[in-house]
C-alpha cells in the first residue's frame, strides 16, 4: 500500500508539472480578454495580461490592413541618418523625426532590427522607400519585405540592381544604369565614377558632387552641379575625387536639362529577386512563420531559449500587417517568452509570414492615443533604449498637421494618461479605448487546481503512513 501511494503521488506530481507546459502552445484566444483596447480608422490595438506556466505575461498587439480601399495608413521603416551613418535613437525620437520631416503622423510604432552597439548600424538588410540602405551579411539572420499592397517576401535578400535616382520635389525618378565608364548608345544611361578626364560623343553630361570617398559603396548621395548641358557631338569632362558623371543621350535630354543643377542625384540599389517590388525591407533574426509553417527550432544563441521581452512583425493572408510585443525580465509584472514561444504566438495570431525583430531592452511600444504618441509598455532597461530603426504605421502621403510633444515624457502603461496628465480618450474622440481588468487564464486555473490536489493527496498520504507506523509501533 505504501509503494502504491508513493507511485500515485509521483504520477500526480509529474502531471502537475507537465500540464502547464502542455498549455505553452499559445492559442488564438490569447487576446480574447484584453485589459486595454483602442481603435482608430480601422487600426486595432489591444493589450492583455495573462499567466502562462505560472509566469506573468504582458502582450501588446496592433494591426492594420493597408490593402483595404481608401486605406488611411501605411507601414514604413524609418531611421535617423546622416548620409550613410545611423544615429542610434529611441523609437520616440525616430517617430518624432519622421513626423517633422514628412508632416505625417505616426499612429503605431515599435523597435526594428538588431544593431551594432558601436556604430548604431542595423545588422540585416534595410530598404527604405524602395532604396537599399544596407544588405545583411549574416547567414543566420533574415528579413521581411512588403509594399503595402499585399506583397510580402521573407528570407535572405541577396539580389539587388543598381539604379540612378534623380529627385523632383522629394520624389525619385529611377533610371537603369546601362553602362559604367563607357560611351552610352542612343537611349542608354552611363555612369562614370572614376577619377580622370573623359570624352564622349552625341551625349550630354551632368556632373554630380558627393561627400563620399568610395563611390562603389551604395547608396551614394549627391547633388548635380552642371551649368552647361545638353547633347553635343563631342564633350569632354574631368572627374575629381567624390564626383561622378551621368552621361545621357538625346532620348533623356529634356529631363536631364531640367535637372542639371542643384538636384539630388544618387547612385542606389533596389531590391531584386524575391524582394523585387518591395518598397520596405526590415531585418531581424529567425523566421517565425513562413507560409503558415511554424518554426519549432528557433535559435538558442543570443538568449533565444531564455524568456525575455520580444518584438515581432507579421502579415496575414488578407494583407493585414501586425506588430506584437511582449514585455519581460520583470517577474512581478512580465517574464517574457523564448523565441520558440514567440513563433507559437505569431501563428496563434494568424500570421502567414512572421519575423523575429530585436527584443530584450529594445522592445518598445508607442501608440498615438488622444492625438499624443504614448509609450505603452515597460522597457526592461527602465527607459526606452536607443536603437537603429523603427517599424511604424503612419498616415498615407497626404499632408496633415503634426501635434508636437515637446516633453516626450514616457507614460506609465498601467495608467494610460497623456504626458499632460489628462485621461487617455475615455469617451472615444478620434479613437475608441476600453480598459478592463486582466482575467485569469485556464492554464493558470488548471495549475492551481492540480497543485491543490497534490497538496491534499500528500497530506492524506502522510497521515496514512504515520497511522500505519503507529499501529506497527503498538504491536
* Cβ contacts of 385 within 8 Å, gap of 6 or more: 90, 111, 361, 362, 364, 379
Sheet holding 353-356, edge to edge: 293-294, 287-290, 353-356, 310-315, 320-326, 55-65, 43-52, 36-40, 432-435
- Predicted local distance difference test score (pLDDT) of residue 454: 61
H helix or E strand, kind and range, residue 245? strand 243-248
Length in residues, the chain: 475
Radius of gyration of the chain (CA): 29
As a whole number of angstroms, the distance between CA 362 and CA 90 comes to 9
Q: What are phi and psi of 229, to 5 degrees?
A: -140, -175
The three cell numbers of residue 252 are 533623356
- Predicted local distance difference test score (pLDDT) of residue 6: 47
Helical H segments across 250-351, by residue range: 253-258, 339-348
**Closest residue by Cα to residue 267 from 291, 246, 288, 297:** 246
Question: Tell me, what DSSP letter sits at residue 146?
Answer: E
pLDDT under 50: residue ranges of the chain: 4-24, 399-430, 436-444, 447, 473-475
Rounded to 10°, the helix 2-22/442-474 angle is 170
pTM higher than the cut 0.95: no
Q: Residues of 164-194 as b/e, b for ≥16 C-beta within 10 angstroms?
A: bbbeeeeebeebebeeeeebbeeebbbbbbe
**Closest residue by Cα to residue 331 from 290, 294, 378:** 378
Question: Tell me, what DSSP letter sits at residue 308?
Answer: B
Output the furthest CA–CA distance in the chain (Å, rounded): 124
CA–CA distances in Å: residue 103 to residues 127, 147, 380, 397, 468: 21, 21, 31, 9, 82
* Cβ contacts of 112 within 8 Å, gap of 6 or more: 77, 79, 122, 282, 283, 284, 357, 358, 387, 388, 389, 390, 391
**310-353: per-residue pLDDT in tens?**
999 999 999 999 999 999 999 999 999 999 999 999 999 999 99
Strand partners, 324: 61, 312
Amino acid at each position: 500500500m505504501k509503494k502504491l501511494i508513493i507511485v500515485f503521488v509521483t504520477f500526480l506530481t509529474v502531471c502537475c508539472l507537465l500540464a502547464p507546459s502542455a498549455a505553452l502552445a499559445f492559442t488564438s484566444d490569447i487576446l480574447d480578454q484584453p485589459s486595454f483596447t483602442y481603435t482608430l480608422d480601422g487600426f486595432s490595438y489591444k493589450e492583455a495580461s495573462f499567466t502562462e506556466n505560472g509566469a506573468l505575461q504582458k502582450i501588446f498587439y496592433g494591426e492594420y490592413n493597408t490593402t483595404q480601399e481608401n486605406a488611411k495608413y501605411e507601414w514604413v521603416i524609418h531611421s535617423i541618418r546622416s548620409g550613410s551613418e545611423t544615429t542610434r535613437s529611441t523609437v520616440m525620437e525616430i517617430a518624432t523625426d519622421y513626423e517633422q520631416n514628412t508632416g505625417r503622423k505616426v499612429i503605431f510604432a515599435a523597435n526594428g532590427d538588431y544593431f551594432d552597439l558601436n556604430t548604431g548600424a542595423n545588422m540585416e538588410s534595410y530598404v527604405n522607400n524602395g532604396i537599399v540602405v544596407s544588405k545583411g551579411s549574416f547567414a543566420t539572420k533574415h528579413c521581411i519585405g512588403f509594399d503595402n499592397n499585399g506583397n510580402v517576401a521573407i528570407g535572405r535578400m541577396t539580389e539587388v540592381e543598381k539604379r540612378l535616382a534623380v529627385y523632383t520635389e522629394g520624389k525619385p525618378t529611377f533610371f537603369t544604369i546601362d553602362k559604367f565608364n563607357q560611351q552610352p548608345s542612343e537611349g542608354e544611361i552611363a555612369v562614370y565614377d572614376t577619377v580622370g578626364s573623359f570624352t564622349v560623343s552625341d551625349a550630354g553630361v551632368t556632373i554630380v558632387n558627393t561627400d563620399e570617398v568610395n563611390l562603389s559603396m551604395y547608396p551614394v548621395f549627391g547633388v548635380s552641379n552642371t551649368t552647361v548641358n545638353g547633347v553635343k557631338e563631342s564633350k569632354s569632362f574631368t572627374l575629381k575625387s567624390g564626383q561622378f558623371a551621368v552621361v545621357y543621350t538625346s532620348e533623356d535630354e529634356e529631363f536631364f536639362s531640367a535637372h542639371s543643377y542643384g538636384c539630388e542625384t544618387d547612385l542606389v540599389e533596389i531590391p531584386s529577386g524575391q524582394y523585387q517590388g518591395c518598397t520596405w525591407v526590415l531585418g531581424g533574426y529567425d523566421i517565425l512563420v513562413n507560409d503558415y509553417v511554424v518554426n519549432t527550432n528557433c535559435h538558442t544563441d543570443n538568449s533565444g531559449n531564455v524568456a525575455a521581452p520580444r518584438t515581432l512583425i507579421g502579415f496575414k493572408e488578407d494583407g493585414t500587417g501586425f506588430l506584437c510585443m511582449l514585455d519581460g525580465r520583470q517577474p512581478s509584472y512580465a517574464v517574457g517568452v523564448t523565441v520558440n514561444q514567440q513563433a507559437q504566438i505569431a501563428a496563434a495570431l494568424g500570421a502567414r509570414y512572421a519575423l523575429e525583430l530585436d527584443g530584450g531592452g529594445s522592445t518598445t511600444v508607442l501608440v498615438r492615443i488622444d492625438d499624443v504618441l504614448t509609450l505603452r509598455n515597460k522597457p526592461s532597461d527602465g527607459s526606452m533604449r536607443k536603437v537603429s530603426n523603427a517599424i511604424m504605421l503612419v498616415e498615407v502621403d497626404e499632408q496633415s498637421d503634426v501635434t508636437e510633444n515637446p516633453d516626450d515624457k514616457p507614460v506609465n502603461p498601467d495608467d494610460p494618461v497623456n504626458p499632460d496628465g489628462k485621461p487617455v480618450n475615455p469617451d472615444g474622440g478620434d479613437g475608441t479605448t476600453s480598459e478592463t481588468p486582466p482575467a485569469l487564464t485556464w492554464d493558470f486555473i488548471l495549475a492551481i487546481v492540480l497543485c491543490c490536489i497534490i497538496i491534499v493527496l500528500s497530506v492524506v498520504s502522510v497521515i496514512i503512513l504515520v497511522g500505519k507506523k503507529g499501529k506497527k509501533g503498538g504491536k
